[in-house]
Homo-oligomer: A and B are copies of this chain.
Amino acid sequence: MGLDKKISVAVIKRLPRYYRYLSDLLKLGITRISSKELSIRMGITASQIRQDLNCFGGFGQQGYGYNVEHLYNEIGNILGVNNKFSFIIIGAGNMGQALANYANFEKRGFIFTGIFDVNPDLIGKKINNREVMDMSNLDEFVKNNKIDIAMLCVPYDQTPIVADKVARLGIKGLWNFSPMDLKLPYDVVIENVHLSDSLMVLGYKLTQKLKNSQ
């Protein structure tokens, strides 16, 4: 219980990427791969791959490499794709609708369970086979259904209010799309998607590029 050696967030963040590459290899019908070969495909060092994987266990075999399907399944287990985490979306605007329709999440074990809004024009609208519910029904819905994750796609000023509400209802995972760092006094896991931050990094790199080509 919590005594495992601490695994750095840098390693964790690479896991989904390994998972994607292994999925591609599977689709290509490739059954085994060495850290060397994978390192070339991914553009990282073989050493890093072996170090990363050995944080979780010895999945390979000397002289052979890694069995693609086995490694794929193991990383899936580490990431919890079999946990079937259920999620609701708060805010049924374009972003909320986009997430509701994103089939990839289902494939990775995240189950779309409900979507909420305050806008009467949206309430009742069917999105990916589910009707948008009124926010006033959120409490009851969460009490009657096991909900693991809430995706927050509400306007900026509503975000802290909704985040607080959702955390009080006992939801343990928050996926935040507002350009704001959520801090909650609850035992909640928060993952931020700061789109404008990412775009500004692109802007910075473009600016550098322009400078250097002059």
Contacts and interface: CB of A to CB of B under 8 A. Distances in A.
Interface in A179-201: 179-181, 187, 189, 191, 193-201
A77 to B, nearest CB: 9
B191 A15 contact: no
Contacts of A206: 80, 83, 85, 148-149, 172-173, 189
B207 A80 contact: yes
A109 to B, nearest CB: 7
Nearest to A107: B196
B193 A209 contact: no
A26 to B, nearest CB: 15
Contacts of A12: 201, 204-205
As for how many copies of this chain the complex holds, the number is 2
A15 to B, nearest CB: 7
Contact of A200 (B79, B187, B202): B79
Interface string A49-69: 000000000000000000000
Contact of A98 (B95, B105, B198): B95
Interface residues on A, range: 35 or more
Contact of A207 (B83, B98, B108, B205): B83
A2 B212 CA distance: 5
Contacts of A108: 196, 199-200, 203
B202 A175 contact: yes
A13 B201 contact: yes
B194 A195 contact: no
B191 A199 contact: yes
B175 A198 contact: yes
B13 A83 contact: no
Nearest to A183: B43
Interface string A154-182: 00000000000000000011010001110
Interface of A: 1-2, 12-13, 15-17, 19-20, 78-81, 83, 85, 93-95, 97-99, 101-102, 104-105, 108-110, 148-149, 172-173, 175, 179-181, 187, 189, 191, 193-207, 209-212, 214
